[in-house]
C-alpha cells in the first residue's frame, strides 16, 4: 500500500473511532451528534433528506479538486460529529430543540448553540491531530511538528472556552459572556463555529521554538452561529467578555443595519475567508456558478492560515441568489440586537 492510500485508510479509521462524551467529565460513549437539530433546522433545508457539505479532498485528488470538495450527504450524517452521549445529547440541548422552549434572544439558548459548535471544532481538531501524528510515523515531513503544535495550541485555547461555557450552562450564570442575536433574510445555510480573528503571526521573527513560549493564551475567540428557522435566518454571535473580539462587535453592528445584498456578501466573505465546516441546501448550492466555486476554493486554500481581521475578497458566492418573498420582508433596519 502506498503512502497516500495509508493516509486515507488511517483517516477512515480515526473518523470511525469510538469517542467519548465531551460534556464535563462524562465518560459515556459518544453518539453521532448533529450540530443543529436533525429533524428541525437541518431537515427543513434539506432536499430529499440530503445537504451539501464541505469536506477535505481525497489525498489522491488534491491537484484536481484542491484542498476541499463539496459532497451531497444524507441528513443522518450531515453536519454531525461524535460529540455527546445519548443522555447529554438529548437532555442538555433540549431547550434549543423543543419548539415551545426555544428563545433565540435568551443567553442560555445562545450559549447552548455556541457550546455545541465549539465542541465540534475541538473534536475535529483532535481527530486532525491524531492524523498528523500518524502521518509523521509514515513520512518524515518537516511541517509535521509545526502542524501538530498548531492543533495542540488550538485545542488548548478552545478547551479553555469550552470549560467556561460549561460552567455558565451548569450554573445558569452567563455574566462572563456577551451574546447577540440578529434576524437576517432567510438563507438555507448552517454555520456553528468558534473563530480566532487576529494576527497570529510571529511579529519579531523569533525562532519557532522561542516564539511558542510567548504565544498568547487564551486567544480572543468568537462564537458564530447562522441557521434558518421558519421564515427567517438568525445570526448569533458572542465572545467571552474577558477576551473581547472587536471584529465580531463590528460584524454584528454591520449586519444589524445592512440591506439584503450586503448581508449576503458578508455571509459569503465569512465562508470564503474563514470557515471550513458548514452546510447548505442543494438548491442554494446549485445557484452558485461553478466558476465562482473554483475561485472560492483557490482563495480558501491561499488563506487557510490567515486570521487577519482585514482580509477581503471580491468573491460573492450568493451574488446570483434570488431573494424570496420571505427574504424581502427583512430589508432595512429592523433586525434586533440584544
Q: What is the pLDDT of residue 307?
A: 84
**pLDDT tens digits, residue range 71-118?**
999 999 999 999 999 999 999 999 999 888 899 999 999 999 999 999
185: in domain: yes
Query: Which residue positions in the chain have pLDDT lower than 70?
Result: 1, 57-67, 140-143, 199-215, 323-338
**pLDDT tens digits, residue range 10-20?**
888 998 999 99
Q: Which strand (E) or helix (H) includes residue 178?
A: strand 177-184
Number of structural domains the chain divides into = 1
139: in domain: yes
**Grid coordinates given for 197:** 480573528
- CA torsion angle 18 134 271 75 (round to 10): -30
Range of the domain at 65: 3-203+217-328
Helix (H, G, I), strand (E, B) or coil at 302: helix
212: in domain: no
- 232-240/222-229 β-pairing: antiparallel
Q: Are 126 and 155 in contact (CB under 8 A)?
A: yes
Q: Is the peptide bond before 218 cis (omega within 30 degrees of 0)?
A: yes
209: in domain: no
**Grid coordinates given for 219:** 486567544
**pLDDT tens digits, residue range 128-140?**
999 988 888 877 6
131: in domain: yes
Spatial CA neighbour of 139 closest among 301, 6, 304, 12? 6
Query: For the whole model, what pTM was predicted?
Result: 0.89
Q: Are 200 and 303 in contact (CB under 8 A)?
A: no
Distances (CA, A) of 325 to 85, 269, 329: 41, 24, 7
Q: What is the pLDDT of residue 205?
A: 56
Q: What is the pLDDT of residue 148?
A: 86
Which letter does DSSP use for residue 20 in this model? Answer: B
- pLDDT above 90 coverage of the chain, percent: 66
Cα–Cα distance for residue pair 313/324, rounded to 1 Å: 26
Beta carbons within 10 angstroms of residue 60's beta carbon: 13
Q: What is the pLDDT of residue 332?
A: 36
Q: What is the pLDDT of residue 65?
A: 58
Longest Cα separation, the chain: 59
Cα–Cα distance for residue pair 218/243, rounded to 1 Å: 8
Cα–Cα distance for residue pair 172/40, rounded to 1 Å: 25
Residues, the chain, total?
338
Amino acid at each position: 500500500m502506498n503512502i497516500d492510500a495509508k493516509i486515507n485508510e488511517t483517516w477512515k479509521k480515526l473518523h470511525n473511532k469510538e469517542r467519548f462524551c465531551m460534556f464535563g467529565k462524562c465518560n459515556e460513549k459518544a453518539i453521532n451528534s448533529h450540530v443543529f437539530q436533525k429533524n428541525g433546522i437541518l431537515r427543513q433545508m434539506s432536499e430529499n433528506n440530503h445537504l451539501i457539505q464541505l469536506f477535505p479532498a481525497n489525498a489522491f485528488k488534491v491537484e484536481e479538486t484542491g484542498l476541499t470538495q463539496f459532497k451531497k450527504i444524507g441528513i443522518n450524517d450531515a453536519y454531525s460529529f461524535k460529540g455527546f452521549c445519548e443522555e447529554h445529547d438529548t437532555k442538555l440541548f433540549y431547550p434549543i430543540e423543543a419548539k415551545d422552549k426555544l428563545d433565540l434572544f435568551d443567553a442560555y439558548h445562545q450559549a447552548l448553540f455556541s457550546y455545541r459548535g465549539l465542541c465540534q471544532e475541538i473534536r475535529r481538531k483532535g481527530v486532525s491531530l491524531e492524523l498528523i501524528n500518524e502521518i509523521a510515523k509514515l513520512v518524515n515531513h518537516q511541517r509535521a511538528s509545526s502542524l501538530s503544535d498548531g492543533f495542540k495550541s488550538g485545542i488548548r485555547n478552545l478547551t479553555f472556552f469550552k470549560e467556561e461555557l460549561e460552567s455558565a450552562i451548569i450554573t445558569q450564570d452567563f455574566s462572563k459572556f456577551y451574546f447577540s442575536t440578529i434576524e437576517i433574510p432567510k438563507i438555507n445555510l448552517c454555520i456553528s463555529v468558534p473563530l480566532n480573528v487576529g494576527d497570529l503571526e510571529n511579529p519579531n521573527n523569533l525562532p519557532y521554538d522561542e516564539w511558542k513560549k510567548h504565544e498568547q493564551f487564551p486567544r480572543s475567540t468568537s462564537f458564530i452561529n447562522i441557521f434558518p428557522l421558519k421564515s427567517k435566518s438568525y445570526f448569533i454571535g458572542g465572545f467571552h467578555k474577558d477576551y473581547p473580539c472587536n471584529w465580531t462587535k463590528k460584524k454584528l453592528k454591520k449586519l444589524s443595519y445592512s440591506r439584503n445584498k450586503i448581508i449576503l456578501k458578508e455571509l459569503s466573505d465569512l465562508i470564503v475567508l474563514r470557515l471550513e465546516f458548514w452546510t447548505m441546501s442543494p438548491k442554494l448550492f446549485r445557484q452558485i456558478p461553478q466558476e465562482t466555486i473554483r475561485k472560492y476554493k483557490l482563495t480558501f486554500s491561499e488563506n487557510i492560515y490567515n486570521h487577519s481581521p482585514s482580509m477581503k475578497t471580491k468573491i460573492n458566492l450568493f451574488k446570483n441568489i434570488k431573494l424570496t418573498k420571505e427574504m424581502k420582508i427583512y430589508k432595512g433596519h429592523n433586525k434586533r440586537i440584544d
